[in-house]
Amino acid sequence: MRLIDKLGKQFVITTELGPVKGALFQDSLNKAKEYLSLDGINIHDCPMGNLRINATAMGSLIQNDLDVDAVPHFTCRDRSLLGTQADLFGAYALGIRYLLITTGDPPKHGPYPSKPVYDYNTFDLIRLVKKMNAGVDYNDKEFGGNTDFKVSCTAVPTAKDMDRELERMEKKIDAGADFFQTQVVYDVEKAVTFAKKAKPLGNPVILGIMPLKSLKMAMYMKDHVDGIDVPDEVISRMESGSTGIEIACDIVKDVYPYVDGIHIMALGDVKGTNRIIEFTKTLSSGPKE
């Protein structure tokens, strides 16, 4: 049973591939094989302007080696309109069926004098993917055959203007988004409020979970990372000796009834990810109500 067949019907668990070091893709594949059963693995598209292996190519390798659905990130940053359509054909030919559409971090964050392209925004890109699914290109010209992508988009459960965030989600759905994967959440109350408000939109929501590695990391996230709220209660628990994995599992338990799945971002920590997977699977193995 594939990811798209489970979404909205069963609670799903996805994670993301850690950074691939240069051309050492086999090392990353071997590490990913240590994950317990998952419904999907995300691959970043040169995050923060840093050089990484092509996300769709790596996604194809993951699917062939691990038999798990890959969700490569596909950004607006680097490709012209022509190049985008060519890359979408290539991704489809390689067996990719899911794409997480994002704007992409500006190249200025990275080490290269690259210039961003941004021929289009995320809404335009979603619409383009859906056009190609219908067998036509940007100019509505039939190209022979069609692609078949499911589109994932991001959402921010802790957005300061929740109404605006929900409006953006609705706009993405209108453009053709199929499901959402959210940014990291530590505030359970905000996560549940968001999930309840997003439910009427009708698209599955997978909640982002990132276990804190240390009190220092918790304080940094709280004070310096926009869009992420780390409640004082979480800080206090870290000060008292609770581990990030324990806190993450408690968050999963509290949000479980309200979302369609979790996306674990454990910064390459396979052991920690597996602990969260094991815990989540104890909550229920049946279909969602």
Domain boundaries, the chain: 3-278
pTM, two decimal places: 0.95
Residue 228: helix, strand or coil by DSSP?
Answer: coil
pLDDT at 288: 52
Q: What is the pLDDT along the chain (289 residues), one digit of tens a residue?
A: 899 999 999 999 999 998 899 999 999 999 999 999 999 999 999 999 999 999 999 999 999 999 999 999 999 999 999 999 999 999 999 999 999 999 999 999 999 999 999 999 999 999 999 999 999 999 999 999 999 999 999 999 999 999 999 999 999 999 999 999 999 999 999 999 999 999 999 999 999 999 999 999 999 998 988 888 899 999 999 999 999 999 999 999 999 999 999 999 998 899 999 999 999 999 975 445 4
pLDDT at residue 267, rounded to an integer: 85
Question: Comparing C-alpha atoms, which of 270, 191, 256 is closest to residue 230?
Answer: 191
**Main-chain phi, psi angles of 108, to 5 degrees:** -60, -20
pLDDT score at 103: 95
The CATH class of 3-278 is alpha beta
Calpha distance 84→86 (Å, rounded) = 5
Helices (H), the chain: 3-6, 25-32, 55-66, 81-93, 122-133, 162-175, 188-198, 215-224, 232-239, 244-255, 270-283
Q: Which residues pair with 128 in a beta bridge?
A: none
Could you tell me what percentage of the chain is helix, strand and coil, using 3-state DSSP and rounding each to the nearest 5? Answer: 45, 15, 40
Give the list of residues 6+ apart from residue 34 with CB closer than 8 angstroms, or none. Answer: 270, 274
